[in-house]
Amino acid sequence: MKKLFLLFITVGFLSISSQEAKAQALGNDYRNAIGGRFGVANGITFKHFVNSSDALDFIVNFRSKKNQYSTFRLIGLYERHLPINNAPGLRWYYGGGAGIGVWDYKHDNHDSEIALSIDGVLGLDYKFNGAPINASLDWKPALEVTPDTGFDAEGFGLSIRFAF
């Protein structure tokens, strides 16, 4: 029984070590990360890598303009991460997705409307070596579909996440 337990532990350890080595060889130093996003709209971000270069990024954000409006949005992005030569831990990425949320107008008796958007993203992603910290700096423009059609180019943000 003791030998079977040691064999199980050894195989498990080798399997985990092999997966970590494979992920690092492919340039992916983390699989998941959660943290804050700060910029024009502040919120929470969760990034999950589906393979070594493609990730899903979910953002819940809040934005308010004093005495005009406030928004609450959920955005889902599909991102493609590519390495930058001679810069370990640093990658650039691009992608796209969509958002849904609510606009609350502070004038007009607090009327609310559903907000839909088509979102893009272009940025830099850095994983600190030896620490479970990830940081991203990006531009996330959006084509607003409702309540009004327009282009929002103000989507600059800094995300700081706990990577695991």
Greater confidence (4 vs 106) lies with 106
What is the residue range of 51's domain?
29-163
Greater confidence (143 vs 64) lies with 143
Task: Flag whether 8 is in a domain.
Answer: no
The predicted pLDDT at position 66 comes to 78
DSSP type of residue 88: T
Whether the pLDDT of residue 15 is over 90: the answer is no
Whether the pLDDT of residue 109 is over 80: the answer is no
Task: Flag whether 118 is in a domain.
Answer: yes
Q: Report in angstroms the alpha-carbon separations of 63 from 5, 78, 116.
A: 54, 22, 15
The predicted pLDDT at position 28 comes to 59
Q: Token pair for residue 143? A: 């084509």
Task: Flag whether 58 is in a domain.
Answer: yes
Q: Residues for the chain: how many in total?
A: 164
Residue 137's pLDDT band (cuts 50, 70, 90): very high
Q: Token pair for residue 53? A: 């270069």
Task: Flag whether 7 is in a domain.
Answer: no
The predicted pLDDT at position 148 comes to 82
Task: Flag whether 88 is in a domain.
Answer: yes
Summary mean pLDDT of the chain: 85
Task: Flag whether 159 is in a domain.
Answer: yes
Mean pLDDT computed over 7-23: 46
pTM for the model stands at 0.78
Q: What is the CATH number of the domain that holds 45?
A: 2.40.160.20
- How many separate domains does the chain show? 1
